Copies of this chain bind each other. A is one copy, B any other.
């Protein structure tokens, strides 16, 4: 399953879908020209409303990530950096996996881990500091 929004996170479902589509494109799991799951089948699979999927797809099209073709489907655009950019993100996956592995080995919960990362990215830690 390529996409799997988690309603209990409190993040709007359509936003999670958008993030997950972008991530799939960034890692090369979806490449330019690839077709995305249809609005209705994906909605059924995720047990959400097709309008929610359609909203996510419309926003993604507005951002230039995908292209919607009436009657044909949704496709990944060739806007990104292509192979090299995907390699960069995919190449970074082991860094993230290793960090998460180490944190879990230390006994931290996924919630604690998520909060640590959010704090770091937001520049709320002493070590991180604000970023312009």
A interface with B by C-beta (< 8 Å): 1-2, 4, 6, 10-12, 15, 19-20, 22-23, 26-27, 88-89, 91-100, 102-103, 106-108, 110-122, 124-125, 127-128
Query: A128 to nearest B CB, angstroms?
Result: 6
Contact B22 A115 (CB under 8 A): yes
Q: In the complex, what residue of chain B is closest to A129 when comparing beta carbons? A: B97
A65 to chain B, nearest CB (A): 12
With A88-B108, A108-B88, A121-B110 already in contact, the answer to whether A128 and B100 are too (CB < 8 A) is yes
- Given A107-B88, A108-B88, A112-B26, A93-B19 contact (CB < 8 Å): no
| Nearest CB of chain B from residue A98's CB, rounded to whole Å | 8
